[in-house]
């Protein structure tokens, strides 16, 4: 699974008959910090996601599972709309060499990673 932001919609008049009635959206893959990464992808949507929403997607064979018993020819499907993201990343220190020499331990400092604040994902129609 990976995170993405809905950036557009795809309309097509000539398509596989199993895609009739399915919504196709253009999704920009994102890092956990919500930075763009990679190329945009066309995804089937089983959640009702809209433009600008943060979503998570699945790829491969599992992309058709949300539509069972039908098996549309899907390579990527949006399977969830993200409300919030909470990350725990190691804080960048002033120098990795100091930690390698054990200077932080000598000063009595903890080497435990600091928690970063949650990334808030505004929902459509919310006042966030």
Q: CA-to-CA distance for 44 and 56, rounded, in angstroms? A: 12
* Single pTM value for the model: 0.69
Q: What homologous superfamily is domain 2-82 in, according to CATH?
A: EutN/Ccml (2.40.50.220)
Section 103-112 average pLDDT? 49
Task: Spell out the domain ranges in the chain.
Answer: 2-82
Whether residue 114 has pLDDT greater than 80: no
Please write the tens of the pLDDT for every residue from 61-102: 999 999 999 889 999 999 999 999 888 877 766 555 555 545
Q: Is residue 6 within 8 Å of 50, Cβ to Cβ?
A: yes
State CA 100 to chain mean position distance: 34
Other C-beta atoms closer than 10 Å to the C-beta of 94 total 7
pLDDT > 90: percent of the chain = 57
Give the per-residue pLDDT at 117.
Answer: 60
């Amino acid at each position: 699974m990976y995170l993405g932001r809905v950036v557009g919609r795809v309309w097509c008049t000539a398509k596989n008959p199993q895609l009739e009635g399915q919504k196709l959206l253009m999704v920009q893959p994102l890092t956990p910090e919500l930075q763009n990464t990679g190329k945009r992808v066309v995804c089937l949507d089983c959640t009702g996601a809209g433009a600008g929403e943060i979503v998570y997607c699945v790829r491969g064979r599992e992309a058709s599972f949300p539509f069972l018993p039908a098996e549309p020819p899907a390579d990527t499907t949006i399977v969830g709309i993200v409300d919030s993201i909470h990350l725990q990343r190691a804080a960048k220190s002033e120098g990795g060499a100091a930690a390698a020499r054990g200077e932080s331990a000598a000063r009595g400092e903890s080497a435990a990673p600091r928690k970063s604040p949650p990334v808030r994902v505004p929902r459509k129609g919310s006042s966030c």
